[in-house]
Amino acid sequence: MKMIRAIVRPEKAEEVVGALAEAGFVALTKIDVVGRGKQKGIEVEGIRYDELPKTMLLLVAREENVDEIVDIIMENARTGRFGDGRIFISPVEESYTIRTGQRDYRRLI
Amino acid sequence: MKEIYAVIRINKMQATKKALEAAGFPAMTAYTYRVMGRGKQMGLRPDELSFPETSKEKIKEILAKEGKHAMRYVPKRLLYLVVEDADVNKVVDTIIKTNQSGHHGDGRIFVCPVQETIQIRTGERITETKPN
- pLDDT tens digits for range B48-93: 555 555 677 777 777 777 666 677 888 999 999 999 888 999 999 9
Minimal Cα distance from A23: which residue of B?
A: B56
Residue B68 shares a structural domain with residue B82: no
pTM of the prediction?
0.79
Distance of CA B11 to the CA centre of its chain: 13
Ramachandran bin of A101, using left for φ above 0, alpha for ψ from -120 to 50, beta for the remaining angles: left
Do B117 and B96 fall within a single domain?
yes
Kindly report the CATH number assigned to the domain that includes residue B82: 3.30.70.120
Judging contacts by C-beta atoms under 8 Å, the chain A residues touching residue B51 are none
Q: Are residues B63 and B85 in the same domain?
A: no
- Domain residues for B68? 39-72
Q: With an 8 Å Cβ cutoff, are A96 and B113 in contact?
A: no
Count of domains for chain B: 2
CB pairs under 8 A between A and B: 92
pLDDT for the residue B94: 92
Are residue B43 and residue B90 in the same domain, yes or no? Answer: no
Is residue A7 within 8 Å of A32, Cβ to Cβ? Answer: no
Q: Which of residues 11-30 of B touch A (CB under 8 A)?
A: none
The answer to whether residues B31 and B47 belong to one domain is: no
In this structure, the answer to whether residues B111 and B49 fall within a common structural domain is: no
B86 in the same domain as B118: yes
Query: Does B66 share its domain with B124?
Result: no
Domains in chain A, start-ordered, CATH in brackets?
A: 2-103 (3.30.70.120)
Cβ contact, residue pair A31, B63, below 8 Å: no
Among the partner residues B40, B103, B108, nearest to A26 by beta-carbon distance: B40
Nearest to B54 among A60, A101, A109 (CB): A109
B93 and B29: one domain? yes
The pLDDT of residue B52:
54
Is A98 a residue whose pLDDT tops 50? yes
Residue A36 vs residue B49, higher pLDDT: A36
Q: Are residues B118 and B98 in the same domain?
A: yes
Instruction: Kindly state the average pLDDT of the residues A35-54.
Output: 85
Q: Is the ipTM of this complex over 0.90?
A: no
On whether both B89 and B125 belong to a single domain, the answer is yes
Together in a domain, B50 and B101:
no
pLDDT of A21-35, one tens digit each? Answer: 888 888 899 999 988
